[in-house]
């Protein structure tokens, strides 16, 4: 169990080489070994979405992926997303609409929302609801989250129109 | 798009310089949570910290024959394997009863089970290791030999004297019984033109906080205990640790950082809380416990397993004459410490019929033990049950009378000018606004048009339903809730506000933050009370060694009780500041005011002094002040609500649904809520409390149930099989406010945290039954699943 294997990845823009136990989940590696505690553990069975992180450009459940599966890959967490500033508008919209209460789902919710904004810039309200249905939030009842995401989609579309 | 609901009818200001109270100020303190910078328990690590996992009873009821530890102890990293007898040497057992619930009984309970385990999930053995993974690796090597004991699961069977008695020393399986009779119920039923009755079933469900229960206990070499806990009531836990471990308050500190959801799940003292603290004392090092999701389902409190026979008597004019209920509820094998598990049923008895002016009421309650996970107070506590029963019966009566559901409610609610009023169950109601709320709801949802649409669609074979639920909610409790019954749970709260030398203030409050926005509203209140920009206000909460003593968050008391303490402290600090300013300026204090952080001339508004100047002189140059003037720039005020046992709020909700009669699937089209929490401190945050609570109520009404097999095994205790509401199936929810302030405080705020959960199930179930009305069927069996709907329709 203690036999370790060496992995190399680009984590939030930095190349790291480190040793991990083959059985260690990606989210445990991020939280325990890399001190990136912004990703949370809610169920450890892939149902709640609190551990959502980006692996090789796609969001994954950090509790269903092993750290060794990220070998030679690129990983981005909420800490990295914040540092890039690419989704500052989304993070601000979450505050403006009070789209978080306890905040435990928020990192995963933001990662999921960021991917939606990237992939479906014209998503409808129903599509937004559908998209974030893999992320459980017990506090908000979801409406404020949907509103915040829709607000950002509209703002970004308006910007595109304005620029063209 | 959801905009914070606008409040047109503004109340007169509560402070002379009101800029923030009543405004939808965002939660500035939440920014770090959007950047992954929260500080939840599992994010923390302490030097020498070890990790505990618990071996929990795999069966519903067992006699523990032998615990063999040696194999587990040999596993890598294992520090200790500890059983119940060892922990019992340092932690006293407890019995959770309240003296004002006459005749209530329960059995002694220990941190880890001794001799017997009474539910699947009860902690039995602790395994402590250097890492969590090592502790989990060792867990299967703990060998427990046991003998199965008969499991008592069924609530009806619990009443049967021939059934197994879970705790033989108690004589029977009854925890608590209550009867209430106003005396003339039978006569009213005899003379009623219409009598309607139904059986109401409520599935046992649980809170599913996204962050599981967790704590780090750190008993130091100095004999002092610090517990970092994801919790709602730190002073309550401080008191319990003192009592169970023979410590004194000054040596016990409980700190709550960010809490990942609580909803009442994190306001109870669990056996593993004491076990984790006990392990830290025994092993002299910090111990971290974080429940995993599977053990959360088995060890977090459950709630709301009730079967209720309900009956209503109504005259042909639609006047409600009487209600009658018989409530049977199962609470698991122990009453939960220290709030007890009889409160929920007791609340049902108090609250049924609550919005209405009938005079006669009879209720019978049996709270029984069973070999399932213990139940206790979870958001709404009895309200969602009482409301669904009351409103279901009202709709059944209206249907029999062929009366519109909105009309029968208008006719029967206690009129807005009738207060103060004592309800038929004996509850004291200070002031409510049912009539205004119903009128506002009718307008908000455009009731007439919706009824028309429903009618038209029915002819096309589309079955939509409208359900309405009026409700009352118990908030701002006095000591009548727990204190008078002997539970050392504070009903008062305190706030300390300190002017710092640079002119900013630090506000320490005994009510904490679990996401609802308490810190945000306290900042709004403090800024207005003192008279400075909100950016200059810093909040400190949830640390027993830093804040005043208080109750924390439960029974929707944060805004009404904690907020009032902040207001009183802020006003007192302002007075002290102005006294110093008056001495410095050599004018009368009455000629001065504080506005946006500056002392001004009250008449001319001319700026006289910045607050930083008060700070400089008050702390560093007191020699320049008159000899008899002490610069008291730190002020503490406490508030306790003493005018009524509770300050009730009210509201009304409506649900619009479409039922697919082929599949039994329910589509939630829209939900409306009109609520009256008195003075609204922050409309956006009240809206969001309502929305979140409504969705939690919908969860119980349609999806959530802890399912057990006939051996007492919970068969869906994981997040894939236990269904919680997700975004796609939830409706948009429109919220509107009526403001009827309580006169029991200066602030006038009542609670807003639980009304959503209280009303949503009743509204949704009534809407489904309204949709099913053309088929002359109904069901009051929550969660009302597609299967139950099809069964009601007779198609399966």
Q: What is the CATH number of the domain that holds B124?
A: 3.90.1170.50
Element (H, E) at B579: helix B563-585
Q: How close does chain A come to B552, measured CA to CA in Å?
A: 16
| Same structural domain, B280 and B328 | no
Structure confidence at residue B9 as a pLDDT band (50, 70, 90): confident
For residue range B215-271, list pLDDT tens digits in order. 999 999 999 999 999 999 999 999 999 999 999 999 999 999 999 999 999 999 999
Q: How far apart are CA B781 and CA B702, in angstroms?
A: 10
| Same structural domain, B469 and B541 | no
Cβ separation A133–B728 shorter than 8 A: yes
Secondary structure (3-state) at B88: helix
Which residues on neighbouring strands pair with residue B83, listed in sequence order? B125
**B197 in any annotated domain:** no
Q: Burial level of B616, CB count in 10 A (0-12/13-18/19+)? A: middle
Structure confidence at residue B1 as a pLDDT band (50, 70, 90): low
Cβ separation B688–A98 shorter than 8 A: yes
**B160 in any annotated domain:** no
In this prediction, residue B5 carries a pLDDT of: 73
Q: Return the residue matching tokens 């009370």.
A: B529
- Of the candidates B566, B576, B651, B671, the residue with the CA atom closest to the CA atom of residue B617: B576
| Same structural domain, B294 and B316 | no
Cβ separation A141–B514 shorter than 8 A: no
CA A89 vs CA A94, A149, B37, B378, B685: distances in Å:
9, 10, 17, 36, 21
For residue range A120-155, list pLDDT tens digits in order. 999 999 999 999 999 999 999 999 999 999 999 999
Query: Taking residues A39-58, what's their average pLDDT?
Result: 98
Which of A34, A75, A141, A154 has the highest number of chain B CBs within 10 A, making it the mutation to test binding with B?
A141
- Of the candidates B791, B788, B784, the residue with the CA atom closest to the CA atom of residue B767: B784
In this prediction, residue A129 carries a pLDDT of: 98
Query: Taking residues A15-35, what's their average pLDDT?
Result: 98
Q: How far apart are CA B330 and CA B276, in angstroms?
A: 28
Q: How many domains is chain B built from? A: 3
**B98 in any annotated domain:** yes
For residue range B395-452, list pLDDT tens digits in order. 999 999 999 999 999 999 999 999 999 999 999 999 999 999 999 999 999 999 999 9
For residue range B569-594, list pLDDT tens digits in order. 999 999 999 999 999 999 999 999 99
Q: How close does chain B come to A19, measured CA to CA in Å?
A: 17
Q: B206: nearest CA in chain A?
A: A138
Q: Of B586, B608, B639, which residue is a domain's last?
A: B639
> Does residue B655 register a pLDDT over 70?
yes
**B664 in any annotated domain:** yes
| Same structural domain, B236 and B127 | yes
Q: Burial level of B738, CB count in 10 A (0-12/13-18/19+)? A: buried
Chain pair A-B, CB pairs under 8 angstroms: 175
Residues with Cβ within 8 Å of B84's Cβ and at least 6 positions away in sequence, in order, are B110, B111, B112, B113, B114, B124
For residue range B537-575, list pLDDT tens digits in order. 999 999 999 999 999 999 999 999 999 999 999 999 999
Cβ separation B261–A102 shorter than 8 A: yes
Q: How far apart are CA B410 and CA B431, in angstroms?
A: 17
Structure confidence at residue B133 as a pLDDT band (50, 70, 90): very high
Q: Of B591, B613, B639, which residue is a domain's last?
A: B639
Query: Taking residues B37-57, what's their average pLDDT?
Result: 98
Q: Pairing between strand B592-595 and B421-422?
A: unpaired
**B173 in any annotated domain:** no
> Does residue B2 register a pLDDT over 60?
no
| Same structural domain, B616 and B652 | no
Q: Of B606, B639, B672, which residue is a domain's last?
A: B639
Distance of CA B467 to the CA centre of its chain: 24
**Which of B37, B293, B727 lies closest to A44 in CB terms?**
B293
In this structure, chain B runs to a length of 796
**Structure tokens given for B202:** 């409520």
Asked whether the ipTM of the predicted complex exceeds the cut of 0.90, the reply is yes
Query: Taking residues B99-110, what's their average pLDDT?
Result: 96
In this prediction, residue A99 carries a pLDDT of: 98
**B192 in any annotated domain:** no
| Same structural domain, B462 and B498 | no
Q: B1: nearest CA in chain A?
A: A147
**Backbone torsions φ then ψ of B315, nearest 5 degrees:** -80, 170
Q: How far apart are CA B580 and CA B590, in angstroms?
A: 12
In this prediction, residue B345 carries a pLDDT of: 98
Domain of residue B339, CATH code: 3.30.365.10
Cβ neighbour number for residue B582 with a 10 Å cutoff: 18
| Same structural domain, B511 and B463 | no
Q: Yes or no: say if B706 and B203 are a contact pair by the CB < 8 Å rule.
A: yes
Cβ separation A103–B26 shorter than 8 A: no
| Same structural domain, B364 and B400 | yes
**Backbone torsions φ then ψ of B126, nearest 5 degrees:** -105, 135
Domain that holds residue B250: 41-149+212-259+265-299
Task: Please state, rounded to an integer, the average pLDDT across all residues of chain B.
Answer: 97
| Same structural domain, B34 and B45 | no
**Structure tokens given for B577:** 């500041």
Residues with Cβ within 8 Å of B177's Cβ and at least 6 positions away in sequence, in order, are B103, B365, B366, B367
Task: Please state, rounded to an integer, the average pLDDT across all residues of chain A.
Answer: 97
In this prediction, residue B6 carries a pLDDT of: 72
Query: Taking residues B22-40, what's their average pLDDT?
Result: 97
pLDDT > 70: percent of chain A = 99
Report the first-to-last Cα separation within chain A, whole angstroms: 57
Cβ separation A100–B691 shorter than 8 A: no
Q: Rounded to two decimals, what is the model's pTM?
A: 0.98
| Same structural domain, B628 and B759 | no
| Same structural domain, B407 and B473 | yes
| Same structural domain, B500 and B572 | yes
Q: Return the residue matching tokens 């119903």.
A: B438
Distance of CA B270 to the CA centre of its chain: 17
Structure confidence at residue A164 as a pLDDT band (50, 70, 90): confident
Structure confidence at residue B714 as a pLDDT band (50, 70, 90): very high
Q: Return the residue matching tokens 């705020």.
A: B749
For residue range B598-640, list pLDDT tens digits in order. 999 999 999 999 999 999 999 999 999 999 999 999 999 999 9
In this prediction, residue A2 carries a pLDDT of: 64
For residue range B319-352, list pLDDT tens digits in order. 999 999 999 999 999 999 999 999 999 999 999 9
Structure confidence at residue A162 as a pLDDT band (50, 70, 90): confident
Cβ separation B730–A47 shorter than 8 A: no
> Does residue B3 register a pLDDT over 70?
no
Which residues on neighbouring strands pair with residue B21, listed in sequence order? none
**Which of B514, B720, B729 lies closest to A47 in CB terms?**
B720
**B7 in any annotated domain:** no
Domains of chain A with CATH codes: 5-81 (3.10.20.30), 85-163 (1.10.150.120)
Cβ separation B211–A40 shorter than 8 A: yes
Cβ separation B730–A141 shorter than 8 A: yes
Which of B210, B669, B703, B731 has the highest number of chain A CBs within 10 A, making it the mutation to test binding with A?
B210
Q: How close does chain A come to B728, measured CA to CA in Å?
A: 5
Query: Taking residues B706-717, what's their average pLDDT?
Result: 98
**B170 in any annotated domain:** no
Report the first-to-last Cα separation within chain B, whole angstroms: 41
């Amino acid at each position: 169990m203690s036999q370790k294997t060496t992995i190399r990845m680009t984590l939030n823009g930095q190349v790291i080489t480190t040793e991990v136990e083959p059985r260690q989940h990606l989210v445990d590696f991020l939280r325990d070994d890399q001190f990136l505690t912004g990703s949370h553990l809610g169920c450890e069975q892939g149902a709640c979405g609190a551990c959502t992180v980006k692996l090789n450009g796609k969001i994954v459940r950090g509790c269903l992926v092993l750290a060794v599966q990220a070998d030679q890959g690129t990983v981005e967490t909420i800490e990295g997303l914040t540092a890039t500033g690419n989704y500052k508008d989304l993070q601000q919209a979450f505050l403006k609409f009070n789209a978080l209460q306890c905040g435990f789902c928020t990192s995963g919710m933001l990662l999921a929302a960021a991917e939606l904004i990237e992939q479906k810039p014209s998503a409808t309200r129903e599509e937004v609801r559908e998209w974030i249905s893999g992320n459980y939030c017990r506090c908000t009842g979801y409406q404020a989250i949907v509103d915040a995401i829709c607000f950002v989609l509209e703002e970004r579309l308006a910007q595109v129109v304005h620029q063209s | 798009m959801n905009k914070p609901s606008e409040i047109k009818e503004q109340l007169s200001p509560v402070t002379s310089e009101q800029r923030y109270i009543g405004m939808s100020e965002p939660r500035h303190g939440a920014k770090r949570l959007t950047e992954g910078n929260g500080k939840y328990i599992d994010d923390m690590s302490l030097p020498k910290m070890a990790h505990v996992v618990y071996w929990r009873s795999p069966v519903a009821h067992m006699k523990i024959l032998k615990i063999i530890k040696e194999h587990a102890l040999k596993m890598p990293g294992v520090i200790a394997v500890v059983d119940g007898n060892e922990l019992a040497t340092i932690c006293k057992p407890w019995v959770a009863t309240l003296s004002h619930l006459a005749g209530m009984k329960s059995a002694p309970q220990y941190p880890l089970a001794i001799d017997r385990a009474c539910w699947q999930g009860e902690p039995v053995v602790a395994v402590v290791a250097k890492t969590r993974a090592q502790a989990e690796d060792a867990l299967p090597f703990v060998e427990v030999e046991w003998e199965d004991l008969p499991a008592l699961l069924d609530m009806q069977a619990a009443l049967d004297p021939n059934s197994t008695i879970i705790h033989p020393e108690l004589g029977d399986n009854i925890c608590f019984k209550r009867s209430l009779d106003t005396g003339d119920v039978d006569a009213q039923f005899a003379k009623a033109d219409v009598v309607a009755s139904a059986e109401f079933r409520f599935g046992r469900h649980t809170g599913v906080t996204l962050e599981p229960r967790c704590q780090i206990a750190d008993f130091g070499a100095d004999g002092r205990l610090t517990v970092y806990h994801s919790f709602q009531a730190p002073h309550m836990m401080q008191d319990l640790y003192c009592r169970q471990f023979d410590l004194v308050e000054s040596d016990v500190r409980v700190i709550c950082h960010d809490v990942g959801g609580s909803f009442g799940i994190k306001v109870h003292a669990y056996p593993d809380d004491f076990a984790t603290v006990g392990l830290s004392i025994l092993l002299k090092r910090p111990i971290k416990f974080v429940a995993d999701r599977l053990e959360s389902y088995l060890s977090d409190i459950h709630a709301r397993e009730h079967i209720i026979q309900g009956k209503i008597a109504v005259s042909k004019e639609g006047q409600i004459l009487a209600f009658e209920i018989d409530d049977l509820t199962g609470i698991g094998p122990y009453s939960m410490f220290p709030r007890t598990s009889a409160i929920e049923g007791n609340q049902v008895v108090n609250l049924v019929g609550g919005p209405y002016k009938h005079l006669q009421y009879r209720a019978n309650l049996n709270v029984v033990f069973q070999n399932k996970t213990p139940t206790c107070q979870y958001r709404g506590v009895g309200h969602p049950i009482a409301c669904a029963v009351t409103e279901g019966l009202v709709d059944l009566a209206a249907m029999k009378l062929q009366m519109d559901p909105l009309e029968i409610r208008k006719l029967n609610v206690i009129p807005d000018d009738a207060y103060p009023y004592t309800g038929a169950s004996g509850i004291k109601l200070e002031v409510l606004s049912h009539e205004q709320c119903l009128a506002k709801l009718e307008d908000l949802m455009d009731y007439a048009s919706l009824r028309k649409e429903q009618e038209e669609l029915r002819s096309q074979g589309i079955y939509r339903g409208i359900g309405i639920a009026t409700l009352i909610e118990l908030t701002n409790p006095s000591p009548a809730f727990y204190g008078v019954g002997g539970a050392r749970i504070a009903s008062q709260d305190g706030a300390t506000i300190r002017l710092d030398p640079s002119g900013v203030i630090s506000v320490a409050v005994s009510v904490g933050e679990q996401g609802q926005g308490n810190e945000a509203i306290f900042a709004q209140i403090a800024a207005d009370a003192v008279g400075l920009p909100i950016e200059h206000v810093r909040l400190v909460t949830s640390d027993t060694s830093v804040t005043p003593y208080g109750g924390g968050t439960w029974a929707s008391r944060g805004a009404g009780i904690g907020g009032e303490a902040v207001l009183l402290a802020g006003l007192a600090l302002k007075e002290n500041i102005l006294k110093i300013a008056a001495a410095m300026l050599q004018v009368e204090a009455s000629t001065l005011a504080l506005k946006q952080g500056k002392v001004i001339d009250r008449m001319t508004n001319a700026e006289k002094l910045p607050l930083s100047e008060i700070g400089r002189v008050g702390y560093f140059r007191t020699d320049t002040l008159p000899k008899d003037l002490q610069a008291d720039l730190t002020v503490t005020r406490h508030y306790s609500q003493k005018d009524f046992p509770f300050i009730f709020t009210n509201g009304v909700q409506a649900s619009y649904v479409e039922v697919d009669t082929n599949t039994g699937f329910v589509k939630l089209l829209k939900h409306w809520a009109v609520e009256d929490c008195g003075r609204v401190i922050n409309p956006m945050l009240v809206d969001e409390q309502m929305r979140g609570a409504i969705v939690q109520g919908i969860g119980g009404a349609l999806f959530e149930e802890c399912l057990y097999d006939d051996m007492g095994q919970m068969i869906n205790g994981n997040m894939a099989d236990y269904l919680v509401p997700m975004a796609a199936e939830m409706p948009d929810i429109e919220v509107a406010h009526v403001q009827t302030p309580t006169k029991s405080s200066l602030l006038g705020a009542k609670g807003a945290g639980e009304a959503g959960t209280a009303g949503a199930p009743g509204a949704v179930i009534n809407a489904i039954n309204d949709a099913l009305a053309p088929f002359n069927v109904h069901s009051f069996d929550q969660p009302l699943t597609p299967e139950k709907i099809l069964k009601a329709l007779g198609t399966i």
